Structure 1
Amino acid sequence: MAKSALLKSSLAKKYWMALTGLFLCLFLVGHLIGNLQLLSSSENAALHFNQYALFMTTNPAIKLLSYLTYISILFHAIDGIVLTVRNKKARPVNYVMNNPSKNTIWASRNMAVLGTVILIFIVTHMVTFWGKMHFDKAMPLQTMTISAGGMPQEFYLTTDGGYVPKGQVDQGAMVIKNRTEFFDAGANVKVKEGYKDLYKITVAFFKDAKFGLIYTILYAISMIVLGFHLYHGFGSAFQSLGANNPKYNGLIKNFGKGFAIIVPLLFAIIPIYIHFFIK
């Protein structure tokens, strides 16, 4: 009974809110490092990004961390809603002399609203990219064109560093199974495995002729919202965990401010670069 009451208490929820929030900050850093490959001007940029995508979706340790991330997002969102409702019920009527704008920053007074916008962005983002990578049977495979005998020929890039002539698949000598695996059509034996072209999907999304600019703007706005959320949430998480030492408070606060600016800014630069600079 005591354990149940503890888990349901506002104090316990603040602890979990802080822990899941800090874990998600680590996820943001890892996700950003991988996505920054989209800014590369190298001719192998697509291959490197697709190799990263394959690693993130097949490595057992990464998959385990991914499930932990999904749980953390849901827990963080639900916990935030519960705490907001409890705080509203605890103080249903504002004090006459209450002036929140002088006592707290805007982000701290609107964490629930900011968090809701971010949650909507995450769901939309996962449907657009994560969902296609995992479940879309029409997901394109990465190809490259090579001039052979003066004639351009298209090949599927494979995960072993080789290739499969696209013409062999089109002519029925090979078939593609399970979205990525090439099988010999006659012997029904697996030959190679190709890369899912998430790079192509991502670039096409932000360069869409009708809505690409709108998608880019909405993404950038979402990153501004994320910045405000992190601006208050980072320092607040350490306070909730009891890390309130005058010797380190300034360092934590300044690091949090830098994190809240740099990370969302770099994320926002990616779609802007794709839309305006990738041809």
Structure 2
Amino acid sequence: MAKSAFLKSSIAKKYWMALTGLFLCLFLVGHLLGNLQLIFSDALHFNQYALFMTTNPAVKVLSYLTYASIIFHAIDGIVLTVQNQKARPVKYVMNRPGKNTIWASRNMAVLGTVILVFIVSHMVTFWAVMHFDEKMPLQTIMINSNGPGLPPQEFYLTTDGGYLPKAQVDQGLIKIEHRTEFHDAGAKVKLKEGYKDLHKITVDFFKQPKYGLIYTILYVLSMVVLGFHLYHGFGSAFQSMGANNPKYNGLIRNFGYAFAIIVPLLFAIIPLYIYFLLK
């Protein structure tokens, strides 16, 4: 009975809120390092990273854990917000929240809701396309295989280091199953899949002539919201877990502030770079 009461208590909810929040902070770092390849690497390496992140068994387990953490963190946050409102149905006569708490701490539910909307739209735009769109383009490369002075041919890259002539594939002479194998002249030739061109999907999304700037601005604003959410959430997570020691509080607080600025800023730089600088 006591155990059941503890699991339903606000203390337990704050504890799990802190654990899932800190785990998602680790996810943010890993995701950021991968996305920075859009600036510091080329299309092939980014697409190799995308393929690894969608096919490696260990990464898949971490991905499912991440999805569960996002859902649990969001639901837990809503429940805690409702509980806090029910615990104080009548507002204090002298209520000066600005004197006692920072703006981010008073609006964590709103900030979290905006972030959740961003995550859903982000997954629909990129994650779902990468996983389920059978018409997603494969990466191509130009090779001068026709001899000196002749125009190069365009080939699809395959993950085993091979090439398939794009013209023949587009004409239906070679049929491609994006995920598993290639078919040539009716005979099944076992080859690894071609690289899904997530790099092209991402670049084209932010460089759209009509909406690219709007999407870039919305992405940057979402990162500002994430920064405010992290600004309060990082330090609050350690407090909820009992790591409240005057000797380390300052270090945790300063690290949290730096994390809340640097990580969202680097994320925001990526679409700005793509829209304004990438040729």
Q: TM-score, normalised by structure 1?
A: 0.96
Aligned partners of 2:181 and 2:189 also within 8 Å:
no
Deviation sequence 1:56-108 (CA, Å, 0-9, x none): 00000000000000000000000000000000010112211121001000000
Question: Residues 52 and 234 (structure 1 numbering): CA distance in 2 closer, same or farther, change over 3 Å?
Answer: same
Alpha-carbon separation, structure 2, partners of 1:86 and 1:193? 50
Measure how far apart 1:256 and its partner are. Answer: 0.1
Q: Which residue is equivalent to 2:155?
A: 155
Q: Which amino acid aligns with 2:70?
A: I
C-alpha distance in 2 between matches for 1:79 and 1:10: 10
Root mean square deviation of aligned Cα: 1.2
Q: Is the 8 A contact 2:231 2:256 kept in 1?
A: yes
1:233 is aligned with what amino acid?
Answer: G
In the alignment, the residues of structure 2 paired with residue 192 and residue 25 of structure 1 have an alpha-carbon distance, to the nearest angstrom, of 34
**Counterparts of 1:101 and 1:171 in 2: how far apart (Å)?**
66
2:122 is matched with 125
Q: CA deviation digits over 1:108-128, x for unaligned, max 9? A: 000000000000000000000
SS of residue matched to 1:193? coil
Give 2:91's aligned residue: 94
- The answer on 1:111 being equivalent to 2:130 is no
One of 47, 51, 62 as aligned partner of 1:65: 62
Q: Indicate which of 133, 136, 140 corresponds to 2:137.
A: 140
Following superposition of structure 1 onto structure 2, how do residues 191-210 of structure 1 map, counting pairs within 5 Å?
191-210=191-210
Summarize the Cα distance change of 1:180–1:215 in structure 2 as closer, same or farther, 3 Å threshold.
farther
- Retained in 2: the 8 A contact 1:180–1:195? no
Instruction: Name the amino acid aligned to 1:200.
Output: K
Q: Tell me how far 1:4 sits from its aligned partner.
A: 2.3
Q: State the 1:211 CA deviation.
A: 0.3
The TM-score with structure 2 as length reference comes to 0.96
State the Cα distance separating 1:147 from its structure 2 match.
Answer: 2.5
Equivalence for 2:216:
216
Shift of 1:180: 5.8
CA-to-aligned-CA distance 1:174-201 (integer Å, 9 cap, x gap): 2111446322232123234210000000
How many aligned positions are there?
A: 276
User: Is 2:48 aligned against 1:51?
Assistant: yes
Structure 2 spans left out of the alignment, 5+ residues: none
For structure 1, the 5+ residue unaligned runs are: none
8 Å CA contact retained: 1:184, 1:190: no
Report if aligned partners of 1:142, 1:157 keep a CA contact under 8 Å in 2: yes
Contact 2:130-2:196 at 8 Å conserved across structures: yes
8 Å contact from structure 2 (residues 158, 195) kept in 1: yes
Q: Does 144-153 or 96-105 show the bigger shift?
A: 144-153
How far residue 266 of structure 1 moved from its aligned partner, in angstroms, is 0.1
